[in-house]
Amino acid sequence: MKLELSPDETRIDTWTIHYTGPDNRSDSGKLTVTNRRLLFLPQHDAGSLSLSIFNKNGLIILEKSMIKNVTSQKSLLSKKVVITMYDGSVHVFNYGILNVEKIVSAVERTS
C-alpha cells in the first residue's frame, strides 16, 4: 500500500517492524520514515484474519517536530528504537535482532 506524502516530504526508508504504543498495544507492520514524519501502517487490525492485509485506517503518524527524545535499547535478542514525544507518550519500535542504527539515523534526520 502506497502512503500519501506531502509535496515537501520525502521518504527516507521503510522497515517491517514491531510497534508498541503508549497504550501497550502491539502490532507488526511497516514503518516509513520521511524528512517530516514517522508513518506506521499496522499489518492488520483486531478484526482481521489475514496478516497480509494492511490497515490504512490504523495508520499511526508521529510528527518529527513533536519528538522530544530518540534512543536505542539493545540486548542480544532485541534491538529497539524508543521515541518519547513532548506529550510524554512513548513509542517503541522493536527490530528483533537486527541493527537499529539506520532507523535511529533516519528518525533524527530532517532533510
Say yes or no to pLDDT of 12 above 90: yes
Show the cell assigned to 49. Answer: 484474519
- What local confidence, expressed as pLDDT, does residue 44 receive? 64
3-state helix, strand, coil in the chain (%, to 5): 15, 45, 45
Q: What is the pLDDT of residues 46-91, one digit of tens each?
A: 554 444 444 556 789 999 999 999 999 999 899 999 999 999 999 9
Q: What is the pLDDT of residues 24-50, one digit of tens each?
A: 988 899 999 999 999 998 886 555 444
Asked whether residue 5 is domain-assigned, the answer is no
Asked whether residue 39 is domain-assigned, the answer is yes
Asked whether residue 35 is domain-assigned, the answer is yes
CATH, residue 77: 2.30.29.30
Task: Work out how many domains the chain is built from and give that number.
Answer: 1
> Which residues span the domain enclosing 67?
11-108
Among left, alpha and beta (phi > 0; psi -120 to 50; other), residue 24 is left
Q: What value does the mean pLDDT of the chain take?
A: 87
Asked whether residue 6 is domain-assigned, the answer is no
Q: Give the three-class secondary structure for 11.
A: strand
Strands 79-85 and 90-94 turn out to be antiparallel
Sign of the torsion formed by the C-alpha atoms of 61, 97, 44 and 4: positive
